[in-house]
Amino acid sequence: MGIPRLSQDLASYADHIVLGKPPPASLQAEVTIIKDLIIDGPSLVYWVYNKLLAHQLLNSLARATLPPTYFQINQALHHLLNDLQAHGIHIQHIFFDGGLPTSKRDVRLERMEKLRQQLETYRKLYPEFPPIAASPDLRDFDKMLWHTPVLSTRKSTLPPPPFMVASVIEFLCNTEWGDCVHVVPGEADMFCALAAQQSAHVVAILTNDSDLAVHDLGSNGRVALLHSIESKCRPSHRESYISALSLNPNLIAARLKVSSLLGFGFERFLDSSASLANIQERARDSSRLERLQNEYLAFAKPFTLTLPEAAHPHSYLENMDPRTAEIVSNFDESPHIYFIPLLEDPQRDSSWSYGAHIRLIAYSLLFKTLPVNIVGTSPHMVECARKGQRITSLSVATLNVSELAKQAAELLQLLDTYISSCKQGPIPRNGATLVEWYLLAIHLIQQEKIRLDKATPTSEQTLRLLGWPSTTQFSPMAPMRINWDDIHFLANIHAVLYSLRILAQMTGYVLNHIKGTPGNTNMTNIQKPAHTDDVSVLISYIHHKLSTMPPIETLFLDIPHIRAKLSDLDLETRTSAIELLKHQLDPNYSNTQREKEDTSEAANIKGPRSIDGEWIATTSKKRKRKQQSKFQGVTTRSTNGFDLLSEDPG
């Protein structure tokens, strides 16, 4: 999204700085020391990801590797922040985008198309999904972050994990860095610039976006180029120091003999092919700005430091992913949500076609409860995602109140059925929790495939994905090689789970807004009296049920880590899950089991049964009946959402 060639223009004017603790005495006279940092969050996440990826490629003997996991990215970034702090650096803020301007929608779609093409290229290169080596040891973060070059290679790689920025935000908010993390109602760079402008100390914005130098950063603001940071240590000194290249906008403007870098950036934006000398000359000509006033004002608008309107309080976005925060930040026009391609088979249907009805509940709750002056009068959401071999936009009309209540009630029933933490009693830990959420997602995928008249997932396919044998009996087995069917099925599951995450965050946002709105006035017109309050209570129920959803790093695992996690399950839990899957996915399984039970009972009548054998048979039948009744509960409860409102939400 940057200004073409601006980084090359400014590179020769960059100064060497030291961040935090001063270097050895022999170097102190040569460099500027800056102790305060403001961090461009997305830039830092991608820098860490690229370091991890380079480390994997350099240390793997296999032809291909899966992308770094969310857990690995989170741990590496956390280590980096702690390392910066240990070097005497004070981190003031870490800003993340909570909504890009509508003027950048085309650029967003172009980026999504590049990711689609990257995945498509990989798929063509590997018609059979390549063997995946075990992840290299990532415990030596110092070596990985400070001594691994970021590779510029033509080797085909998979796209980055689609939720890694959201995962980092979620992770950091639960660490000592939580108070520094801000999801802002706009672009992160604008808030970085504003914070620098208001800083009482000399401060550097750590970013890979040289466009930040075009902003007015005040007298104390600098830009520290993320790609240039290094940890250095002279042989005669044991302690290291961190250096970087820095852009000082005011100093560079003076050296270029222009009034500011905003005018210089405008001229470079108009002509990316002109020489630096020509751009300098044009930027000094004030008459050009008069002739090109309209173009200049349009260019300068994103660099004008104005906070968004107070309609969307900053604090409401703190617990939201950037993708969902963008919806509530951009209600001035038809809100858009961008679903970048998941790690899926690009030759098959988009995984984002699954979970659509859950997202529809989220959008509908948002439009039916927020004031008209926020959501506007057009109850539509635009979803941008892959469809076939291109990226398309689809306008989604929200539900009326009665249909919304019905669908929300059905979802509540499924949550009660599958998720133990939605019930009273002990909450399962580790792999058992993962199984519950995955079984729920598989059930929802099955429902959608039946509706679309598509082949539904089988128990064999599901058990293969999870790394389990097709029998409930314990049998050690070699790890199964991953194929594109496995990859695509997991992407379907992740799309459904992320749709549930969107619903959880939307309901949380609405509840915060309702609590913060005195008198709860100016609500949209809902047809039946008192339904505003009823829908609000329904939102509370849904949010309560989804509040136990595990974080991204533990729920959105890749296949090797899913199999490793589930291999630790005890035999009883695994057996129960396999039985549940077969009842759910195989239409004839219940009849087959009933026939086996009848045959077994007939055989047992002919002869004496041991006490142990009788206990096992009885326990087995009780467990099967319990599992069958568990599924029957999905359809026996009321589907009227308002009938559920008298129940205790727990």
The DSSP result for 172-234, as a single string, is HTTSTTGGGEEEESS-HHHHHHHHHHH-SS-EEEEES-GGGGGS--TTTEEEEEGGG-EEE--
Dihedral angle computed from the Cα positions of residues 61, 62, 67 and 72, in that order, rounded to the nearest 10 degrees: -40
pLDDT band at 134 (very low <50, low <70, confident <90, very high): low
- Residue 59 CB-density burial (10 A; 0-12 exposed, 13-18 middle, 19+ buried): middle
Q: Is the pLDDT of residue 44 over 80?
A: yes
Mean pLDDT of 214-232: 96
List Cβ neighbours of 622 (8 Å cut-off, separation of 6 or more). none
Q: Which residue has the higher pLDDT, 318 or 301?
A: 301
Q: Are 172 and 192 in contact (CB under 8 A)?
A: no
What does the chain come to in residues?
650
What is the structure's pLDDT at 647? 46
What is the structure's pLDDT at 425? 46
How many Å apart are CA 433 and CA 554, to the nearest integer? Answer: 10
What is the structure's pLDDT at 591? 61
Q: Are 72 and 238 in contact (CB under 8 A)?
A: no
pLDDT band at 611 (very low <50, low <70, confident <90, very high): very low
The pair phi, psi for residue 442, each rounded to 5°, is: -65, -40
What is the structure's pLDDT at 328? 83
Long-range contact pairs involving 510-518 (C-beta distance under 8 Å, separation at least 24): 510/365, 510/366, 510/369, 510/370, 510/536, 510/539, 511/536, 511/539, 511/540, 511/543, 512/316, 513/316, 513/369, 513/370, 514/369, 516/313, 516/316, 517/371
Q: Is the pLDDT of residue 465 over 90?
A: yes
Give counts: helices (H), strands (E), the chain.
26, 12
How many Å apart are CA 452 and CA 475, to the nearest integer? Answer: 37
Q: Is the pLDDT of residue 603 over 60?
A: no
pLDDT in tens, 240-287: 899 999 999 999 999 999 999 999 999 999 999 999 999 999 999 989
Mean pLDDT of 139-162: 84
How many Å apart are CA 459 and CA 296, to the nearest integer? Answer: 61
**What is the CATH code for 6-303?**
3.40.50.1010
User: If you average pLDDT over every residue of the chain, what do you get?
Assistant: 83
Q: Are 337 and 111 in contact (CB under 8 A)?
A: no
What is the structure's pLDDT at 285? 93
Dihedral angle computed from the Cα positions of residues 51, 486, 582 and 408, in that order, rounded to the nearest 10 degrees: 60
Q: Is the pLDDT of residue 210 over 90?
A: yes
pLDDT in tens, 640-649: 444 444 444 4
Closest CA to 464 of 482, 441, 443: 482
pLDDT band at 612 (very low <50, low <70, confident <90, very high): very low
Amino acid identity of residue 226, one-letter, is: L
How many Å apart are CA 511 and CA 59, to the nearest integer? Answer: 48
Q: Are 526 and 375 in contact (CB under 8 A)?
A: no
Could you give the residue ranges of the DSSP H alpha helices within 96-137?
105-125
What is the structure's pLDDT at 626? 45
Residue with tokens 């690009």: 346
Q: Is the pLDDT of residue 632 over 80?
A: no
| Other Cβ atoms within 10 Å of 158 Cβ, number | 18
Distance of CA 451 to CAs 265, 358, 400, 445, 446, Å? Answer: 53, 15, 21, 10, 9
Q: Is the pLDDT of residue 481 over 80?
A: yes
Q: Which two tokens stand for residue 509?
A: 């946002």
Mean pLDDT of 538-556: 92
What is the structure's pLDDT at 374? 60
CATH 3.40.50.1010 residue ranges in the chain?
Answer: 6-303
Q: Which residue has the higher pLDDT, 586 or 229?
A: 229
Closest CA to 472 of 358, 571, 602: 571
- Mean pLDDT is lowest, of 149-153, 272-276, 440-444, for 149-153
pLDDT band at 153 (very low <50, low <70, confident <90, very high): low
- Mean pLDDT is lowest, of 168-182, 298-312, 488-502, for 298-312
| Other Cβ atoms within 10 Å of 46 Cβ, number | 17
What is the structure's pLDDT at 61? 73
